[in-house]
């Protein structure tokens, strides 16, 4: 997700142009539409709703881009924040809870946690799916932003309206919650345990 100084400078100039130039905004749209759609789809689980919400996100973005100010976080974080708010409203209006599909989990990018973690995740993906489904919506969103969108804690904090430290703490508690849920209280049956998750999550 990191950019060179030249890339950041080029994007900053493009954003300034986009405040008065629809063609420039179109370039930003092409640059980010797939990522925003992907995020929305993971949060709604429905392609039609994701397409509708993505369109509304960029409609809101072009309406308010004149007020955008660079505050040291990527432009994408500003778009994700708009998406976060619209998706939250979507869930609230429908009283729906995000359900992550097995296919969604299989697309998680977890290479930064090492190949052993990725292998274990795939082996336990059905149990992991069930555990994720029991998490509160904000923790499900955190996992999506961390593993799918591969954002930093600072970027996630900006999107979710929390400090970087608060996101780090929430991430830690979420992993521990998943570990405890998957391992379960019955320590007399080793076959039911997930020792790798217990070890890995306990060290976060």
118 and 74 belong to one structural domain: no
Query: By the 8 A CB rule, do 130 and 184 touch?
Result: no
67 and 135 belong to one structural domain: no
**Residues near 185 by beta carbon (within 8 Å), at least 6 away in sequence:** none
pTM over 0.75: no
114 and 89 belong to one structural domain: no
| Domain of residue 49, CATH code | 1.10.1740.10
139 and 168 belong to one structural domain: yes
**Whole-number pLDDT of residue 170:** 94
Of the candidates 145, 152, 106, 144, which has an alpha carbon nearest to the alpha carbon of residue 125? 106
The residue from 69, 94, 119 where one domain ends is 94
Instruction: Annotate 163-189 with DSSP letters as a single string.
Output: -HHHHHHHHHHHHHHHHHHHH-S-TT-
Q: Which residues form the domain of 72? A: 5-94
Per-residue pLDDT band at 66 (split at 50, 70, 90): very high
| Domain of residue 189, CATH code | 1.10.10.10
The residue from 45, 62, 94 where one domain ends is 94
Say if residue 195 is exposed, middle or buried (CB neighbours under 10 Å; 0-12, 13-18, 19+): exposed
Count how many domains the chain has: 2
**Residues near 38 by beta carbon (within 8 Å), at least 6 away in sequence:** 148, 149
Measure the CA–CA gap between 18 and 12, rounded to whole angstroms: 10
Instruction: Annotate 142-155 with DSSP letters as a single string.
Output: HHIIIIIS---HHH
The average confidence (pLDDT) of the chain is: 79
Q: How far is CA 107 from CA 98, 121, 149, 173, 177, in A?
A: 17, 11, 11, 23, 21
The residue from 45, 61, 94 where one domain ends is 94
Per-residue pLDDT band at 34 (split at 50, 70, 90): very high
60 and 21 belong to one structural domain: yes
How does pLDDT run across 171-190, given as a tens digit for each residue? 989 888 887 887 665 544 33
67 and 106 belong to one structural domain: no
């Amino acid at each position: 997700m990191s950019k060179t100084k030249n890339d950041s400078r080029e994007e900053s100039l493009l954003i300034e142009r986009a405040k008065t130039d629809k063609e420039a905004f179109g370039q930003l749209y092409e640059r980010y539409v797939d990522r925003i759609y992907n995020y929305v789809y993971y949060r709604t689980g429905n392609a039609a709703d994701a397409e509708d919400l993505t369109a509304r996100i960029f409609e809101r973005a072009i309406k308010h881009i004149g007020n955008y100010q660079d505050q040291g976080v990527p432009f994408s974080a500003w778009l994700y924040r708009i998406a976060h708010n619209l998706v939250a409203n979507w869930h609230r209006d429908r009283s729906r809870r995000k359900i992550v599909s097995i296919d969604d989990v299989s697309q998680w990018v977890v290479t930064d946690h090492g190949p052993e973690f990725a292998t274990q995740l795939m082996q336990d993906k059905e149990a992991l799916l069930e555990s994720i489904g029991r998490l509160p919506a904000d923790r499900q969103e955190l996992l999506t932003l961390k593993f799918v969108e591969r954002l930093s804690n600072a970027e996630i904090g900006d999107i979710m309206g929390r400090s970087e430290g608060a996101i780090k703490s929430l991430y830690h508690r979420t992993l521990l919650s998943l570990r405890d849920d998957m391992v379960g209280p019955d320590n007399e049956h080793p076959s039911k345990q997930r020792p790798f998750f217990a070890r890995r999550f306990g060290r976060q």
